[in-house]
Amino acid sequence: MLSFQMSEEEDFEPRAEPPPPPTAPARGELRSDGVLVPAEGDASTLRNKGAFGETTPEGRLRLSWLETCYLTEAGRLVVERSGKVVGFRDLVRLAHRGRGDFEVLYVVYRDLRQRGYVVEEGASPIDFRVHPRGGRPGKTTTGTWVSAVSERAPFVLREILDRVHKVQGVRKQLLLGVVDEESDLTYYAAREVELHGSVVAQGAPAKADLLADRALVPDEAEARALAESGFFGKFLGRRLQLSLLETAYLLDGGHLEVRSARNDRPVGLAAVIRRARQMQPDFDLRFRVYRDLRSRGVVVKTGFKYGTHFRAYEGDPEKIHARYLVHSLPADYRGGWPEVSRAVRLAHGVKKHLVLASCGESIAYVHLERVRP
């Protein structure tokens, strides 16, 4: 399995592959179904030094378009057709006709190869299966599977989660290689995580006054008991202020009696939720994730200052830092990769992990992290 490190640089250059020894390049023949290396010596060299291609029963070597272009660019292969040399430009054009996103695939394939990895091609959306350095087919297993993605492609949460399930189901790592418009490459590791904490929120009976967009627990003793029961709210002097999320959660659990600050009439859960929806159209989405995290023993606080929905603590927030930034999204969410890049970068900058909460029939948590192979 590959070992990854967090990327600490704004941009990084791939580790250059050592230049091959000064030997004559192998010769390949361009045919209607691809490129074939007919000489057994050339085929053996390419197979032994890089595990390129597939060996035919006759001892020849069949190369894919990615392998052909890479070896040609590296000066290790000369491709001919009818006795004439086919240059790199024409090879790329031929490959592009077969697959419109060839240039994106090639950037990722080339980068992984230059970093010293043996790469087996897969079927979209899992484009590559990567062996550890020094590994090769038949001797090592592939620990990481890679999808090549254009920066301009939409970020579709459901598709990412499907890939994560497919890869984690066979105990592999998923790496997303995102190619920007200048062909720079950023890698993101994606995996589903189970968030758990150690705080069992008991709740304590209290009375609160509902203001415009929050509630206030005026009795000091009730305020302290409620706060200590699950790290709810924030003190304003001796009074406890609750967010609408906390108010709805505690009211739903039977731990809070809410009255209108205007007329002292009782306010039920439905009325609190209606008020919250008016101010936050995505309140229902946030409330689902808030309740789910609380049920897992996680202390949840606002993530506004970090541009996300929640900060998630695994224990006492007065003793430990929030480990995760959690953003609630519908399961069918479609966005842009620049948004994802910004969120991951910000989370890393404050030493936290970005988690996307996918809200469908159930809630799944997807952890995204920028990595460096």
Q: Quote the radius of gyration of the chain (alpha carbons, Å).
A: 28
The residues spanned by each domain of the chain are 26-97, 200-296
With a cut of 70, list the residues of the chain below it in pLDDT: 1-22
Count CB atoms within 10 A of the CB of residue 86.
19
Q: Which of 139, 165, 196, 321 is catalytic?
A: 321
pLDDT tens-digit series, residues 293-352: 999 999 999 999 999 999 999 999 999 999 999 999 999 999 999 999 999 999 999 999
Q: Which of 172, 255, 309, 352 is catalytic?
A: 352
> By three-state DSSP, how is residue 158 classified?
helix
pLDDT for the residue numbered 15 = 53
pLDDT for the residue numbered 202 = 76
Considering the segment(s) 200-296 as one domain, its CATH architecture is: 3-Layer(aba) Sandwich (3.40)
User: Count of residues for the chain?
Assistant: 373
pLDDT tens-digit series, residues 355-366: 999 999 999 999
Q: For this structure, is 321 an active site residue?
A: yes
| 125: preceding bond cis by omega (within 30 degrees) | yes
Q: For this structure, is 313 an active site residue?
A: yes
Q: Which of 106, 313, 324, 333 is catalytic?
A: 313
β-strands 173-179, 144-150 pairing: parallel
Task: Strands of 220-323 (E only): list them.
Answer: 234-236, 239-243, 256-260, 299-302, 310-313
3-state SS, one letter per residue, for 345-356: HHHHHCCCEEEE
pLDDT for the residue numbered 221 = 95
| Residue 258 vs residues 30, 196, 229, 251: alpha-carbon distances, Å | 78, 30, 18, 8
pLDDT for the residue numbered 21 = 52
CATH superfamily of 26-97: tRNA intron endonuclease, N-terminal domain (3.40.1170.20)
